[in-house]
Structure formats: C-alpha cells, structure tokens
Amino acid sequence: FPEDPTGRLVAICRWLGASTYLAGRDGATYMDLAQFAAAGIAVRTQAFACPVYPQRYGPFQPDLSVVDLLFNCGPEGLARLRRQRGEA
C-alpha cells in the first residue's frame, strides 16, 4: 500500500472494489479528494451523532463503541443506528 494516508485509503477501496468512500464530516479537510476522483471513487461525508441508548451502568456515555451498543441493546442496536442515519 502507498505511504500517504489518502493513497492507502484509495488503494484499500480499489482492493475491495468500492465505488464510494464514506468519511466523517471533516474528512474533506485532511484527505486529498483528487486522488479519490482520479480513481473513480466518490467520497460522501456524514455528520454522525451517537444515538442515545440504554446503558446498564450509570448515566449515558456517548461515543463508546458499537460493541457497547450491541451488549446493551442486542439486535435492536442495529435498528437504532439505521434510524439515526435515516434508513429506518
């Protein structure tokens, strides 16, 4: 894989056969979008906000991991993430 971070992402996308790369909301500020365009890979950004879900111990702690969500909510956790993205 290439040494530069964007080049690595593009190479991974190519290796996986991806046509779109989903980045965080600030991705465009640190990635070389021209490298994606040259490879024919679209870049979409998202402004993800952690959904509030029941946690077993103490007050809600956001931004832990999907593992915490799954352990606390089971299969309903995936449905919560989809609703957060508007996929319902």
Residue extents of the structural domains in the chain: 5-46, 50-88
What is the rounded distance in angstroms from the CA atom of residue 38 to the CA atom of residue 5?
16
What is the rounded distance in angstroms from the CA atom of residue 28 to the CA atom of residue 69?
28
CA triplet 36, 88, 12: central angle to 5 degrees?
20
pTM: 0.66
Residue pair 33/13 in contact by the 8 Å Cβ criterion: no
Kindly give the confidence (pLDDT) of every residue in the chain, 88 residues in length, as a single tens digit, with 9 standing for 90 and above: 789 999 999 999 999 999 999 998 888 899 999 999 999 999 998 877 788 899 998 899 998 988 999 999 998 988 888 887 665 4
Residue pair 55/72 in contact by the 8 Å Cβ criterion: yes
